[in-house]
Amino acid sequence: MPYIPHTAKDIEKILKAVGAGSVEELISQLPAASRLKGPLAIPDGLSEQELLGHMKALSSKNSTVEEYSSFLGAGAYNHYIPSVVDAIISRSEFYTSYTPYQPELSQGTLQAIFEYQTLVCQLTGMDVANASLYDGATAVAEACLMAKRITNREGIVLANALHPEYRETVATYLTGTGDHLSTIDYSATTGATSLDAIESAISDKTACVVIQHPNFFGSLEDIEAIAGVVHKKKALLVVAVTEAVSFGLLKSLGDCGCDIAVGENQSFGNSLSYGGPYLGFMATKTEFIRQMPGRLIGQTVDKEGRRAFCLTFATREQHIRREKATSNICTNHGLCALAASVHMVSLGSGGLRKLAALNLSKAEYLKKKLKESGVEAAFTSPTFNEFTVKVKGSPDGVLKKLLEKKIIGGLNLEKYYPELGNHLLICATEMNSKEEMDALAAALK
Amino acid sequence: MESNGTKGLVLDEPLIFEKSSPGRVGIGPAHSDVPESDPKKTLGQKFLRDDIEGFPDLSEMDAVRHYTRLSQWNFGLDSGFYPLGSCTMKYNPKINEAASRLPGFAQLHPYQPEDLSQGALELMHSLEAYLSEITGLEAVTLQPSAGAHGELCGLLMMAAYFKAKGKPRTKIIIPDTAHGTNPASSHLAGFKVVPVKTEGKGALTVEMVKAVMDEDTAGLMLTNPNTIGLFEKNIKEIAEVVHSKGGLMYCDGANLNAIMGLVKLGDIGVDVVQLNLHKTFSTPHGGGGPGSGPVCVGKALEPYLPCPRIKKENGKFSLDFNRPKTIGRMKSFYGNFSIMVRAYSYIRRMGGVGLKRATEAAILNANYIKERLKGTYHLAFDEPCMHEAVFSDKFQESCGVSTMDIAKRLIDYGYHPPTVYFPLVVHGAIMIEPTETETIDTLDRFIDVMKTIAEEAKTNPQILKEAPTKTKIRRVDETRAAREPILRWKK
Ligand SMILES: Cc1ncc(COP(=O)(O)O)c(C=O)c1O
């Protein structure tokens, strides 16, 4: 049997030691009435060679974003992952260990995640960051719960230009503890959330306002101005970022007055993998640490005074506080955080800035090309590597035609925003060549 | 007793930020094939940032050395025996890693057309069917990211079920042996936790549940086998009590590896269970995730499963969003797909028979440890166990030695300690879960070491108090970490 090393002799020896005549006798502790009578209806086991063949065959029923030119973003971004990332996260000392409960045996994970927390603080301009959350959507949900605890208020105001699946996740998370949810619309001209709409959506019952930046349509939001409006009502501003490469260019959220920065770090080092696992991040101000969900790594010393790291502020967490914990999260996305760190570090500050600038250049080029084809950007706000266009004809029809040319042309927005019939969300990254973009523009003419 | 822990050259390594040299370039991005866009002009200065203060600049090789050295300060399952109770540190097959990295799985965008994703959807559909077969429950969602996330999902479905009946229920019963995530998830789902004290009995009795189950109570959240490693023998009768009051049985399935192929949860009255693919189904723990926490439910809860579900019609797979009663979504997209690939790969390699063999071998190994250590360490419950055995430091206390000291001493002998101080109901708990993938030779050596440590506790307790001494660092000052928090590097 694969992975089970017991020989007949081993089993005999164990049975003798435990005083049982047979394996069946040992498991007779299970009430007979509960026992499964027959075998599991699951196919017989495969040899490793057969299994790999089977997995290859199954995987080849999919088409990848390498075989097609893909212009999809919308919360999952196709970026180049340097070879060092897989080399490091494939080290089994990292990937086969558990959550670092025993610090003397886990300094590698602990220091790496402490560094990751620091990198997230540097990118966001916030004071502290946690070790990770599941993904961007759950990070936003956790931020809303956290804002409720901090402010003792109930109201959660979500920008309509926040990723629709994030909004749905927030709604699900809030059903248990009270869903005083409302949304603020975006401006049909700029594609950004308008200040007036925000102002009229907040009351003295609002715990937080959640804004995505760049938002779901790709439009940049005026975070500084929004922070002013939100803080006037003593509510908190939560800013969600789905495309973390934008950190390389865009003003840090801390500098813009954000209180809780959350989002998705998949863009760094984590493959698309049909939607997961990705990497939720959360960073905030020092004063809010005790209300933060998730694991935190802290620096300390060992008994001989050497620098050392360990899990800390555990009194916020479920294994100590049980139902009074700040969150139920236990296992997080540690290895994804390591992958993100390795990618960030291998880019360095200069590389990250260049990568972000390259993404901007690609998207601007594509925008220009599409315009030449008569496909106009739908909104006026500046954008980073993703933008919304209006196409001629039904978007599904347009996308289908593009598929024939091996192009995945973007996301049909109508499904999420009925008012945006004929609109596509299009993303260009460093993975999209000039030829690909030219081909897309030509096909849309 | 000779120690496995020996000397090796362990290199010091500063924080990555301390190795940085401004201007040094690691792996730059690709050359551009399009005209450069000037961010100042395109976006405007007000949107732009200054330099990223403190962000590290290293050569590629220095970055690789940095992380390689860090990895060498870690102890993984591949390094040695890792009997962490409740965590199921079974071997993580390498073929699963290879499979998950196949481009046809790794390079799929979640929003690419279903026609281009038939293999992924088929894999998920099959995995759902296997998990349904293993648990005896009709329907499965693969969306939740981990055990706790699955718990929340299952509990929200229960809440939705009662709400739809027009009679929302406010409470949930949880025994004191439960994992901390159970009450935390219940609270988040809006339930008030009604704790049940098992009073050192090991198993829950029908009376205990009868005393608290009423028609305001959504049901019982039970871990089976429980965290003491014992099968809840009265589960069928308990389920009857819960059901008779209109309630539902939630099972925390983190310990499914002890009953897979022997008992189907659906057959014994369970209505909803979350599974930890990163335990029972051999996917790696990654130093703290990512995992995957599918939820399996019976017919009554099926309409409430998160959206989307995977549908098969005329041999074609699709995502079904038309689910009016759904609780909504637990996260973006469809779940931790690359973890599902690994779990699927494990199930196909093992086959139905192999899965059952794994369960039996896990039980054999745990009982072997239990029997051979029970005179040396105090056994919390002296009865046949399932996949893990819970001891305590009761016999060693008089020597002034605690569970923590025993755990730290194990490190010097080259072992990862068991889970300690959990479950909370056992004072000074030492929870040992060997798993089925360990040889009896490994168990024998571990047992000998545990016995040696018990001797040392009597003759030389100081050696336990000082442990570990062979690791890169000695015991850390956790109090200081909390009192004088340093949560990030600063210049
Ligand atoms: C019994 C039990 N329940 C629930 C969990 C939570 O699972 P996760 O850490 O994947 O959220 C765990 C493990 O941590 C566990 O051991």
Q: N- to C-terminal Cα distance for chain B?
A: 47
* Residues 6+ positions from B408 with CB-CB distance below 8 Å: A104, B417, B464, B467, B468, B475
Residue, of B3 and B359, whose pLDDT is higher: B359
What residues 179-218 of chain A have any CB closer than 8 A to a CB of chain B? none
pTM above 0.95, yes or no: yes
Per-residue model confidence (pLDDT) at position B196:
95
**Residue B305 — pLDDT band, cuts 50, 70, 90?**
very high
| Nearest CB partner across the interface for B105, out of A59, A255, A352 | A59
- Main-chain dihedrals φ then ψ at residue A309, nearest 5 degrees: -125, 150
Whether residues B180 and B254 share a domain: the answer is yes
Q: What six digits make up the tokens of B19?
A: 């190795």
Residue B477 buriedness (CB in 10 A; 0-12 / 13-18 / 19+):
middle
Q: Is residue B100 part of a domain?
A: yes
State chain B's mean pLDDT as an integer. Answer: 96
Whether residues B264 and B149 share a domain: the answer is yes
Least confident of A90-104, B108-122, B193-207: B193-207
Q: Looking at the 3D structure of chain B, how many domains does it have? A: 2
A350 and B25: CB-CB below 8 Å? yes
Best residue in B69, B107, B222, B483 for a mutation probing chain A (most A CBs within 10 Å): B107
Task: Report, as an integer, the average pLDDT of B439-461.
Answer: 98
Per-residue model confidence (pLDDT) at position B417:
98
Per-residue model confidence (pLDDT) at position A179:
77
* Rounded alpha-carbon distances, angstroms, from residue B163 to A336, B216, B245: 37, 12, 16
Whether residues B253 and B397 share a domain: the answer is no
Per-residue model confidence (pLDDT) at position A319:
87
* Residues 6+ positions from A227 with CB-CB distance below 8 Å: A237, A256, A257, A258
Establish whether the linkage from the previous residue to B290 is cis, with ω within 30° of 0. Answer: yes
Whether residues B344 and B372 share a domain: the answer is no
B349, B383, B406 - which closes a domain: B349
Q: Is residue B423 part of a domain?
A: yes
Q: CB–CB of A219/A379 below 8 Å? A: yes
Whether residues B136 and B245 share a domain: the answer is yes
- Say whether pLDDT at B201 is over 80: no
Residue type, B423: P
B349, B371, B391 - which closes a domain: B349
Output the CA B85–ligand 1 centroid distance in Å. Answer: 11
Whether residues B375 and B345 share a domain: the answer is no
Q: Beta strand B139-141 with B295-297: parallel, antiparallel or unpaired?
A: antiparallel
Best residue in A105, A316, A329 for a mutation probing chain B (most B CBs within 10 Å): A105
Is B276 close to ligand 1, i.e. is its CB under 6 Å away? yes
- Say whether pLDDT at A60 is over 70: yes
- Say whether pLDDT at A321 is over 90: no
For residue A168, the chain B residues in CB contact (below 8 A) are: 307, 328-329
A3 and B436: CB-CB below 8 Å? yes
Q: Is residue B24 part of a domain?
A: no
Per-residue model confidence (pLDDT) at position B269:
97
**Which ipTM score applies to this complex?**
0.98
Per-residue model confidence (pLDDT) at position B8:
82
Whether residues B133 and B273 share a domain: the answer is yes
**Residue B2 — pLDDT band, cuts 50, 70, 90?**
low
Whether residues B307 and B399 share a domain: the answer is no
Output the CA B148–ligand 1 centroid distance in Å. Answer: 6
- Say whether pLDDT at B257 is over 90: yes
Per-residue model confidence (pLDDT) at position A178:
79
Task: Report, as an integer, the average pLDDT of A149-173.
Answer: 98
Output the CA A229–ligand 1 centroid distance in Å. Answer: 41
Domain with residue B260: its CATH number is 3.40.640.10
Domain with residue B445: its CATH number is 3.90.1150.10
| Nearest CB partner across the interface for A298, out of B55, B64, B486 | B486
Q: Which residues of A152-183 are buried (b: 16+ CB within 10 A; e: fewer)?
A: ebebbbbbbbbbbbbbbbbbbbbbbeeeebeb
User: Which residues are registered as beta bridge partners of B472?
Assistant: none
For residue B371, the chain A residues in CB contact (below 8 A) are: 17-19
pLDDT tens digits along B124-149: 999 999 999 999 999 999 999 999 99
- Say whether pLDDT at B1 is over 80: no
For chain B, give the longest Cα–Cα distance: 77
Nearest chain A residue to B484 by CA: give it. A300
Place of tokens 């330099």: B51
Q: CB–CB of A344/A236 below 8 Å? A: no
**Residue B203 — pLDDT band, cuts 50, 70, 90?**
confident
Whether residues B100 and B186 share a domain: the answer is yes
Whether residues B193 and B115 share a domain: the answer is yes
For residue B277, the chain A residues in CB contact (below 8 A) are: none
Q: Is residue B31 part of a domain?
A: no
**Domains recognised in chain A with CATH numbers:** 65-80+349-443 (3.90.1150.10), 83-344 (3.40.640.10)
Whether residues B417 and B317 share a domain: the answer is no
- Say whether pLDDT at A112 is over 90: yes
What residues 122-161 of chain A have any CB closer than 8 A to a CB of chain B? 122-123, 127-129, 131-132, 134-138, 145
Whether residues B336 and B373 share a domain: the answer is no
Q: CB–CB of B56/B19 below 8 Å? A: yes
Rounded-to-integer distance, Cα B479 and Cα B491, Å: 24
B349, B377, B393 - which closes a domain: B349
Q: CB–CB of A187/A180 below 8 Å? A: no
Domain that holds residue B216: 96-349
Per-residue model confidence (pLDDT) at position A27:
95
Per-residue model confidence (pLDDT) at position A253:
98
- Say whether pLDDT at A320 is over 90: no
Q: Is residue B85 part of a domain?
A: no
Q: What six digits make up the tokens of A74?
A: 């919308």
- Say whether pLDDT at B464 is over 70: yes
Per-residue model confidence (pLDDT) at position B199:
73
Q: Is the dihedral of CA A256, A261, A262, A264 positive or negative?
A: positive
